[in-house]
Amino acid sequence: MKTLNTFYIGGQWVEPSAGGTQTDIVNPATETLTGHLAMGTAQDADRAVAAARSAFPAWSESSRAERVALLERIVECYRARLDDIAEAVRIEIGAPITLCRHLQAAIGLSQLEAALETLRHFEFETHHEKSYVRREAVGVAALITPWNWPLNQIAAKVAPAIAAGCTVVLKPSEIAPLDAVIFAEIMHAAGTPPGVFNMIFGEGRVVGARLSSHADVDMVSITGSTRAGVEVAVSAALTVKRVAQELGGKSPLLILDDADLQQAVTSGVMQCMVNSGQTCVAPTRMLVPRERYDNAIAIAAEVANGIVVGDPADPATRMGPISNRAQYEKVQHMIRTGIEEGARVIAGGPGKPEGFAQGFYARPTVFADVSNGMKIAREEIFGPVLVMIPYDGEEHAIAIANDTEYGLAGYIATSNPDRARRVAARLRVGSVRINGAMLDITVPFGGYKTSGNGREYGREGLAEFLECKSVTG
């Protein structure tokens, strides 16, 4: 049983202010209590912001060499804690241990290394005849991160922020606190100057609201639901601070008529189901040529039914539980909604897999006979649920793909590279992956429409934390 009752502020572990509450840390695989977490107050947010504001003048004037040296130390300290991080993520969100080791923990390290490499080559000053442009740290950055890929989002925000010369206040998800505490320990062990990195826990409506409205916070970067992103933007508007948002998605996979159907459908199902479907960028709408639809349905059902659901501690497990009770209940509600709407379940369905009495386990579920107007095709479910939609011709497929309030990502399967480029250009999304390509963290990531604004990763991700100053004469 763990009790997490301190916050990291000003280079020290400090006790929360009076008046805070506690929340339970629950293992989603067993539904058992594994610890307690102290939840902060607005006063705690004020203390963390004050520490970051105090540290900003010196850190914003630090040299590239100093920032590179710090990030190098952070990378080494993180690498030494990889096993601890993987185990923490397994316990807190129920991700399979193999996924935790190879992706959940490892991608945080990759984000740190990528930010370090970007910093080494970033141009902070450019010259234009009699003028020059300086790129300077925006100030104190509040970073709000989710529970589904916790280390990826923490590292993808913290690393470029401090590389830019910002000081930060991190508010991780209370659902995934164990890995965040380890990350704070890494930052301390690496010798991060006091106040450059601060971390507190708390509810969005309390701590998140205070950070986003705080006059001494210059920027908020949030990854979360579209609802949460809107709330942060509204709260931040009164102080006219910068807001970067990476929000929800309902990403389409366009399987074109020249694609290898077996490969495309298999890849699409597996990409949808990874991390129990709790990935904002997952291809949750599979668009298939009508003449190949029946074959695609048969392939998808076979693949989904073959996914091994089990104990996250078992290396053979490919899908663990949903990460918390509220999300499990939402997923079950959406599966029932799909059935009520007239969609046909070809794999999975409501309830837990056979043999699971405890744990927030859901069945890998695939719906056929779906129209793009159904609720299950329009709302982000954030669980292991795939919908399959038939289309008539390339133009129809593109129209369906773009007929959504979201615009985070798109996927294309085709054997023709020129066709892939042409279709990619017409998708109203922030990123496109072709033929099962993996995420590339060296290029910008972010969304169109209600999937957010701003970009993470690469040069553009670092630039989000910078202001431009023109000097002439």
Q: How confident is the model at residue 108 (pLDDT cuts 50, 70, 90)?
A: very high
Domain for residue 90, yes or no?
A: yes
Domain for residue 341, yes or no?
A: yes
Sheet holding 219-223, edge to edge: 12-14, 7-9, 197-199, 167-171, 140-144, 219-223, 242-246, 452-453
Query: Structure tokens of 52?
Result: 């970051």
Does residue 329 sit in the same domain as residue 366? Answer: yes
Write the CA distances from 13 to 10, 48, 198, 303, 328, integer angstroms: 8, 11, 10, 47, 34
Q: What is the pLDDT of residues 50-75, one digit of tens each?
A: 999 999 999 999 999 999 999 999 99
Q: What is the pLDDT of residues 14-53, one digit of tens each?
A: 999 999 999 999 999 999 999 999 999 999 999 999 999 9
Does residue 243 sit in the same domain as residue 304? Answer: no
Average pLDDT, the chain: 97
Domain for residue 445, yes or no?
A: no
Domain for residue 82, yes or no?
A: yes
CA torsion sign, 366 to 372 to 376 to 379? positive
Does residue 233 sit in the same domain as residue 113? Answer: yes
Domain total of the chain = 2
Domain for residue 122, yes or no?
A: yes
Active site residues: 246, 280
Does residue 126 sit in the same domain as residue 64? Answer: yes
Q: How confident is the model at residue 182 (pLDDT cuts 50, 70, 90)?
A: very high
Tell me the average pLDDT across 277-303. Answer: 98
Q: What is the DSSP letter of 32?
A: E
pTM of the complete model: 0.97
Does residue 139 sit in the same domain as residue 102? Answer: yes
Tell me the average pLDDT across 167-192. Answer: 98
Q: What is the pLDDT of residue 173?
A: 98
Domain that holds residue 383: 251-440
Does residue 261 sit in the same domain as residue 128? Answer: no
Q: What is the CATH number of the domain that holds 356?
A: 3.40.309.10
Q: What is the pLDDT of residues 382-437, one digit of tens each?
A: 999 999 999 999 999 999 999 999 999 999 999 999 999 999 999 999 999 999 99
Query: Structure tokens of 33?
Result: 């209590």
DSSP string across 153-182: HHHHHHHHHHHHT-EEEEE--TTSHHHHHH
Q: What is the CATH number of the domain that holds 210?
A: 3.40.605.10
Selection from 206, 279, 217 nearest residue 244 by Cα: 217
Q: What is the pLDDT of residue 263?
A: 98
Which amino acid does the sequence have at 91?
Answer: I
DSSP count for the chain of H helices, then E strands: 16, 23
Domain for residue 30, yes or no?
A: yes
Task: Tell me if residue 46 falls in helix, strand or coil.
Answer: helix
The answer on pLDDT for 1 being more than 90 is no
Does residue 138 sit in the same domain as residue 239? Answer: yes
Does residue 50 sit in the same domain as residue 174? Answer: yes
Does residue 419 sit in the same domain as residue 365? Answer: yes
Does residue 303 sit in the same domain as residue 183? Answer: no
Domain for residue 74, yes or no?
A: yes
Q: What is the pLDDT of residue 452?
A: 96
Q: Which residues of 197-236 are buried (b: 16+ CB within 10 A; e: fewer)?
A: bbbbbbebebbbbbbbbbebbbbbbbbbbbebbebbbebb
Tell me the average pLDDT across 259-275. Answer: 98
Domain for residue 138, yes or no?
A: yes
Angle at 311 between CA 280 and CA 266, to 5 degrees: 50
Does residue 285 sit in the same domain as residue 263? Answer: yes
Q: What is the pLDDT of residues 342-376, one digit of tens each?
A: 999 999 999 999 999 999 999 999 999 999 999 99
Does residue 422 sit in the same domain as residue 456? Answer: no
